[in-house]
Amino acid sequence: MERELMLRVKNLKVVFPTPAGVLRAVEGIDLDIHKGECVALVGESGCGKSVSALAVMRLLSTPPAVVRVDELTLDGEDLRDLSEAKMQDIRGKRMAMIFQDAMTALNPVMTIGRQLDELYIRHEHMNAHDARKASIRALELVGVPEPASRANSYPHQLSGGMRQRVMIAMAFACMPKLIIADEPTTALDVTIQAQVLDVLNEMQKKHDVAQLLITHDLSVVANTADVVYVMYSGRIVERATVHDLFNAPQHPYTKGLLASVPKLGDEKRKFTQIPETVPHPLHKPRGCYFHPRCPRATAFCGKDVPPLLETPDGRQLRCWYPLLAKGVDRP
Amino acid sequence: MNRIYVLKRVLYAIFVFAVVITLDFFIPRLGVDDPAARYYPPQGNMTEIEYEIVKQATREQYGFDVPVFQQYLNYLEGLTRFDLGTSFRSGSPRVSDLISERLPWTLALSVTNLVISLFFGILIGAFAAWKRGRWQDTLLLNASTFTTALPAFFIALILTFYLGFEFELFPAYTNPNMVAEFDWSWDAIKVVMNNAALPILSMAVGGIVAYGQSTRNSVIAVTNEDFILTAKAKGLTPRTVLYKHILRNAMLPIVTSLGMSISGLIGGAVIIEQIFNWNGMGTLFLEANSTNDYPLMMGIMLFMSAVAIAANLVTELVYGLLDPRVTVGDRR
Amino acid sequence: MKAVVRTLGTAGSAILRFLAPIGRFLRSVWRHPKGRVGLLIVALLVVCAVFAPWIAPYDPYDVTERAAKGLAPSLEHLLGTTITTGQDIFSMLIYGTRVSLLIGITTGVAIAFIGAFFGILAGYSGGVADTVIMRVVDILLVIPTLPLIIVLTNLFGRSYLMIIAIFAAFGWTGLARVIRSLVLVLKNANYVKAAELAGASRARIMFRHILPGVSHLLIMSTALSCAGIMVAEAGLSFLGLGDPTAISWGKMLAEAQSGGALLFGHWWWIFAPGIGIFLAVFGFMRIGLALEEMLNPRMKQSNGLFKLFRHLDNARLEEVFSQMDAERGNRPWNGN
């Protein structure tokens, strides 16, 4: 059931030149998101997921970042060489972003109503009156009680979950084709997380919007995503449908991530951890980036970078010794 | 805006004022056995008996012949009539008259300085922030390291030297007839502007750089905030982002600085006025000091404090209007 | 005997605990380029102040050489002589460091103690103490400083001690406010809560735990206060209201103006004390700025990044990108 392609990213590379060396944030990743699909981009902090999202929106400014990409297409339109003015038309209207911490992501001296109105005035060319009506309706849709009076509140007067709903409302306001949600629930309490995720899910499904969900939390992925990309230190190391990923992970890193999520009814006594930490972006290891932490690593893993292999049904893997296969041909 | 917040700030300002009035009353009475001692004229050739009579007359004139508490009440009562006491000067002019005579001249200097510093400072600061990291920004930062270490009176002397004497652009000493001949005519105003140029310039050099630096830091800090990224991600035009999002937030610390500048509007130019012999509150105060004219000195201090309190109050209220986080309003 | 050793030990360790952070700060300031400049300047000034009689070629008070009035700078008189009295300006400059540094540093240290004391007390105790102290601060801040100082020197005399006392009595307010804000944050730190739970007395917590936490801010603010005090003292002596026997840069400037330096074009008489004031203030401000940047790295000038971009030749970047392209290695797979 191949639906039309909404976002295609090919060979996205982002580096940051610094006095200490060239910092490689994103090293040639591909992303495909289809209409109505929810794609999760999973990885530890610092693996380059947020940078990728900003690169897709072309929000990375050139100092300090340098961005190269072979293909960046949104709903058939090539974004690479568009002028900044045209990009401003697209942002907020055809693709939108939800940020992690709604407290700092909202302007503290502007009412939330005004911040919503802005979108309608800018992209739908409404006047202030109509914009406010639309904003109130948007707040209603995301489940904010008493939307008409809440619109006159300031961000600091709302609770965390409420603020995040406002961010969701802002993202969906102009009915974009693609929504990028960067860690939308990380800053919230667990109970509120569930509520906000539900709202997000509901909005996405109802309006058939493609979604790129960025998170480090696998439990969030299980309930909402269709396809999962696993990212490590700037590279994609695995891609699978959510079912395949959770039931039959191929990459040792994915297995490690899954194992470290505590589950009810788990009989283990200690937390499972992946040893050591992510490589420093300026000093990455030779060969496979994960091999210093990998329980299955051999001497060979530290020599050559494993290629990204792709099966006909869309599964991708970057590993010399995958968990379920008999091994990959080595040069 | 929250009524309670306003009321609290106003009441607090009144409280501070009351304390300052009391301090003002007691300071000249400190440290001597006879509190009226500082008010006696010098003995000169008078005999002891004559001097006693003069002292008694002085005590009566300045109200020291009644108990302290009564003196305090009389003082307060005088304040309600804006009577700040009588100066020791010949003719015993009222302090409030002297102040109202000289005040406009000081304001001419300080208000102009403030307006110039604000206007150019904010412009330069915003520009430097826009060109962050480039030479315009570095220039501003280097300039500020210099001017903050150079006291205004030194700058005044340098400017007087070059602009006043070497190039003779402006008069180095204030025209002594300027005040007497002032008649609101256009010519008289031009004379004043000509004389005021150097004093204002001396203060403005530091002022522009200070506001510039402050604006630059504030704008850069705000530009790095997350909500600016959100604004850009919403596809808002750069102009909207700049005015509605960046500047609205960056101006908040400037408002606070502005409040502090207004507090110092009257007392801040004392040295500059002295250098240029400008006929304002600063020189009035120094004259009072050299003649030990306590009623005048304390009257001026009280006036300056009152202005500072009022300025602080207004600043707080304005800031409360601009920044919704301040007024503890309706938290849900 | 044992008691003597023990008290010496406690005293010694208290002193060391006091000096150690200062030593650490000096080292970290030295490493910072701006701080190093500041330290060097201040060190130079201190040397001038301490060794003034040996450095200055003439006795600055010497007014006997009447014929030598108003000389331009020459080899004999490096900065010339004053028009009015024939004093050697260079010697006066050197001796001027004494007044500025004495008043600046003593007052700065006094302000540090008073301000830290009240700031920590207000911030940590909260409640009545906090309210009272902050009200006092508000009231003191409202009264215009220079006129107040003038009045008090008028009432109480103009000796060094009085000037230092008055400056200190009114200069601690800003510092107290700043320290208090930090203490309010530190109050909730885990290590403070742990000490409270362990039953440490309030005084002990304030001294042993909170004080080290604010020490960085304290030293930075002290450096900046010293700078401010020196400007204020210069202003005061410029008005002729400083200590009458002292040789102070402010007074030199006033004498220069009234002595006709401007009129006769003797710019050296104006610039010498002015540069003196500038150096002293600049030195302390650099130290304070260095400490501030260490506390708050975001405020650093990041003009380096832009320059860097031009230095980093494109060849290097292209190298990185082509390496990434090579490592992509997308290949079809049957997923065995």
Contact B249, A107 (CB under 8 A): yes
C142/B16 touch (CB, cutoff 8 Å), yes or no: yes
| Residues in chain B closer than 8 A to A90 (CB atoms) | 235
- Span C165-194, mean pLDDT? 85
Q: Which chain A residue shows the shortest CA-CA distance from C316?
A: A22
B153/C253 touch (CB, cutoff 8 Å), yes or no: yes
C246 min Cα distance to partner chain B (Å): 20
Angle at A4 between CA C328 and CA A75, to 5 degrees: 75
Above pLDDT 90, what percent of chain C?
9
Radius of gyration for the alpha carbons in chain A, expressed in angstroms and rounded: 21
pLDDT tens readout for residues C226-280: 998 999 899 989 988 888 888 889 988 888 888 877 778 788 888 889 999 999 9
Partners of A72 in the beta sheet? A9
Res B328 pLDDT > 80 = no
Confidence of residue B116 (pLDDT cuts 50, 70, 90): very high
Chain C touched by A22 (CB under 8 Å): yes
pLDDT at C89: 82
pLDDT at A119: 93
A59/B323 touch (CB, cutoff 8 Å), yes or no: no
Q: Which two tokens stand for residue B231?
A: 């604004």
Under DSSP, the state recorded for A260 is: T
> CB B58: neighbour CB atoms within 10 A?
17
pLDDT tens readout for residues B40-59: 777 777 788 888 888 888 77
**CA A70 from chain center: how many Å?**
20
Q: Which residues of B touch A (CB under 8 A)?
A: 133, 225-227, 229-238, 240, 244-245, 248-249, 252, 322-325, 329-332
Question: How many helices and strands in chain C, by DSSP H and E?
Answer: 15, 1
Chain C touched by A24 (CB under 8 Å): yes
Alpha-carbon distance C301 to B213, whole Å? 12
Task: Write the CA distances from B265 to B3, B23, B161, B269, C156, integer angstroms.
Answer: 29, 21, 26, 8, 27
Alpha-carbon distance C81 to C72, whole Å? 7
pLDDT at A139: 92
Weakly modelled stretches of chain A, pLDDT under 50? 1
Mean pLDDT of chain C: 81
Contact A311, A319 (CB under 8 A): no
Confidence of residue B332 (pLDDT cuts 50, 70, 90): very low
- Span C191-206, mean pLDDT? 78
SS3 category, A311:
coil
- Span C299-318, mean pLDDT? 58
| Residues in chain B closer than 8 A to C234 (CB atoms) | 151
Chain C touched by B253 (CB under 8 Å): no
The upper half-sphere exposure of residue C9, i.e. CA atoms within 13 Å in the direction of its Cβ, equals: 6
Nearest Cα to Cα of residue A284 among A30, A49, A27? A27
Chain A interface test: which of B131, B234, B252 (most A C-beta within 10 Å) = B234
The DSSP code sequence of B46-60 is: --HHHHHHHHHHHHH
pLDDT at A266: 66
Alpha-carbon distance A114 to A136, whole Å? 11
C87 min Cα distance to partner chain A (Å): 54
Nearest Cα to Cα of residue A298 among A259, A252, A240? A252
**Residue that has been written with the tokens 């004080």 in this structure:** C211
Res C108 pLDDT > 50 = yes
A99/B322 touch (CB, cutoff 8 Å), yes or no: no
A27/C330 touch (CB, cutoff 8 Å), yes or no: no
**Residue that has been written with the tokens 């306003």 in this structure:** B6
What is the layout of strands, in order, in the sheet containing A95-98?
A95-98, A178-182, A210-215, A38-42, A227-232, A235-241, A316-317, A309-310, C331-332
The upper half-sphere exposure of residue B134, i.e. CA atoms within 13 Å in the direction of its Cβ, equals: 8
Alpha-carbon distance A52 to A9, whole Å? 10
pLDDT at A108: 92
pLDDT at A259: 81
pLDDT at B329: 38
C329/A66 touch (CB, cutoff 8 Å), yes or no: no
* Amino acid in position B67: P
Q: Where are the alpha helices (DSSP H) in chain C?
A: 2-31, 33-50, 52-55, 89-125, 127-142, 145-156, 160-186, 190-197, 202-204, 211-238, 249-258, 261-264, 267-295, 303-311, 314-328
Confidence of residue C304 (pLDDT cuts 50, 70, 90): very low
Contact B24, B305 (CB under 8 A): yes
Mean pLDDT of chain B: 84
Contact A42, A257 (CB under 8 A): yes
Alpha-carbon distance B216 to B239, whole Å? 18
| Residues in chain A closer than 8 A to C328 (CB atoms) | 11, 28, 307-308
- From the list C305, C309, C329, which residue is nearest A307 (CB)? C329
Alpha-carbon distance C275 to C136, whole Å? 37
Q: Is cis: bond before A64, omega within 30 of 0?
A: yes
Q: Which residue has the higher pLDDT, C55 or C327?
A: C327
pLDDT tens readout for residues C21-75: 777 777 777 777 878 888 888 888 988 888 878 777 777 776 666 556 777 777 7
Nearest Cα to Cα of residue A98 among A233, A197, A217? A197
pLDDT at C267: 82
pLDDT at A87: 92
pLDDT at B330: 34
pLDDT at C281: 92
pLDDT at B267: 79
Alpha-carbon distance C150 to B316, whole Å? 29
Confidence of residue C9 (pLDDT cuts 50, 70, 90): confident
The DSSP code sequence of A163-207 is: HHHHHHHHHHTT--SEEEEESTTTTS-HHHHHHHHHHHHHHHHHH
Determine the longest span between alpha carbons in chain C, in angstroms: 107
Nearest Cα to Cα of residue A235 among A51, A22, A56? A51
Q: Which two tokens stand for residue B200?
A: 């204002």
Nearest Cα to Cα of residue A249 among A262, A259, A234, A236? A259
pLDDT tens readout for residues C270-292: 888 999 999 999 999 888 888 88
Partners of A12 in the beta sheet? A29
